[in-house]
Amino acid sequence: MIEQSKLYLNKFVDDLQAGGHYTFTRQGLAKKLNKTDTAITLALNRLLKTGRIISPKRGFYVVVPLEYSLSGGLSPLWYIKDLANYLDCSYYVGLLSAAEIYGAAHQRPQEFQVMTDTQQSLVKLKQYRIKFFHKWNLKETPTLESKVATGSVRVSTPEATALDLVRYYKDVGSLNNVATVLSELTPSIHKLSLAAAAKKHIEMSVIQRLGYLLDLVGQDKLSEGLVHLLKERRVQLAKLRPDLDAEDAKIDSRWSLYVNEIIEPDL
């Protein structure tokens, strides 16, 4: 019976891939495979061991085409949409992973970065790590659908990505890294769209820091919309690096910022 389960599961996985589908759940499999839990577990473990499937989360499986298992693994872009549905959360691909989609790949991420509206634990796979960032106002973030091999995934717009990079600068390395990525991301950023995205952003200090960094990489025209936004609101002096002391720091009057760190992008 166990051998029959293995054969059935092999065919199930092959048929799934042939139909252009790459994910399944244990619950869904159990309904199709009328076998004992033990037989199903053994069959799944066998395919996991051979690398034919991977399991980013308990009960959720991804079919790995042979060519990808040999070349280093399947990108989470192939299955992040289905995984988010399985976890019952809203999501978008963000931060360095979103920047890479737009061609800003100088600071290639060591992990696949996803924003969600619920807390999710880190996924550790042999070839990849998937890190989830909880964002309570996620649905207010401008996103678009980006085509991938398995359909499409939700990605923060270039403008929203820029804001997120500044907001979560520690998670992408440093403000130096952020400035480097911004220098590559700016060709995809539109002035009016940036101002519109910023209007939805609650933390004015993030807008101030982003404006300063855009000026630093020679994009002062792109940041003009942010200057007008600051003039519409009451803005307090903020620190470029919020975790560092600002004593004796120079003040950038354009952005009302204590410049308490020297930013050196890798251009």
Q: What is the DSSP string of 74-128?
A: --GGGTHHHHHHHHT--EEE-HHHHHHHTT--TT--SSEEEEESS--PPEE-SS-
Lowest mean pLDDT among 25-34, 52-61, 240-249, 252-261: 25-34
Question: Model confidence at 231, in pLDDT bands (50, 70, 90)?
Answer: confident
For a pLDDT cut of 90, what percent of the chain falls above it? 72
Asked if residue 124 belongs to a domain, the reply is yes
For a pLDDT cut of 70, what percent of the chain falls above it? 96
Do 53 and 81 lie in a common domain?
no
Question: Which residue, 37, 71, 105, sits at the end of a domain?
Answer: 71
Question: Model confidence at 66, in pLDDT bands (50, 70, 90)?
Answer: confident
Do 173 and 81 lie in a common domain?
yes
Per-residue pLDDT, averaged over 138-165, amounts to 95
Provide the pLDDT for residue 182: 96
Strands 151-156 and 129-134, by their bridges, are unpaired
Do 109 and 219 lie in a common domain?
yes
Burial string for 105-143 (b: 16+ CB within 10 Å, else e) reads ebbebebbbbbbbeebeebeeeebebbbbebeebeebbb
Q: Is the pLDDT of residue 2 over 60?
A: no
Lowest mean pLDDT among 49-53, 58-62, 68-72, 223-227: 68-72
Helix (H) or strand (E) holding 61, with range, is strand 60-63
Question: Model confidence at 11, in pLDDT bands (50, 70, 90)?
Answer: confident
Do 108 and 42 lie in a common domain?
no
Do 148 and 206 lie in a common domain?
yes
Provide the pLDDT for residue 72: 62
Provide the pLDDT for residue 1: 46
* CA-based radius of gyration for the chain: 22
Asked if residue 265 belongs to a domain, the reply is no
Domain hosting residue 216, numbered range? 76-259
Comparison of pLDDT for 6 and 110, the residue scoring more: 110
- Tens-digit pLDDT profile for residues 179-213: 999 999 999 999 999 999 998 877 899 999 999 99
Tokens of 145: 């659908």
Asked if residue 264 belongs to a domain, the reply is no
Please write down the HEC assignment for all residues of 128-171.
CEEEEEECCCHHHCCEEEEEECCEEEEEECHHHHHHHHHHCHHH
Question: Model confidence at 24, in pLDDT bands (50, 70, 90)?
Answer: very high
Tell me the C-alpha distance between 35 and 123, whole Å: 29
Domain total for the chain?
A: 2
Asked if residue 267 belongs to a domain, the reply is no
Question: Model confidence at 5, in pLDDT bands (50, 70, 90)?
Answer: low
Please write down the HEC assignment for all residues of 200-239.
CCCCHHHHHHHHHHHHHCCCCCCCHHHHHHHHHCCCCCEE
Do 121 and 157 lie in a common domain?
yes
Do 80 and 134 lie in a common domain?
yes
Do 11 and 52 lie in a common domain?
yes
Those residues with Cβ within 8 angstroms of residue 4's Cβ, 6 or more apart along the chain or in another chain: 35
Do 230 and 176 lie in a common domain?
yes
Q: For the domain that residue 220 is a member of, what is the CATH number?
A: 3.30.460
Q: For the domain that residue 56 is a member of, what is the CATH number?
A: 1.10.10.10
Average pLDDT, the chain: 91
Q: Is the pLDDT of residue 164 over 50?
A: yes
Do 96 and 221 lie in a common domain?
yes
Question: Model confidence at 214, in pLDDT bands (50, 70, 90)?
Answer: very high
Q: Is the pLDDT of residue 4 over 60?
A: no
Question: Model confidence at 159, in pLDDT bands (50, 70, 90)?
Answer: very high
Do 45 and 139 lie in a common domain?
no
Asked if residue 245 belongs to a domain, the reply is yes
0.85 exceeded by pTM: yes
Three-state SS for 37? helix
- Neighbour tally for 205: CB within 10 Å: 19
Asked if residue 30 belongs to a domain, the reply is yes
Highest-pLDDT range among 19-33, 34-48, 154-168: 154-168
Q: The tokens 């820091």 sit on which residue?
A: 209
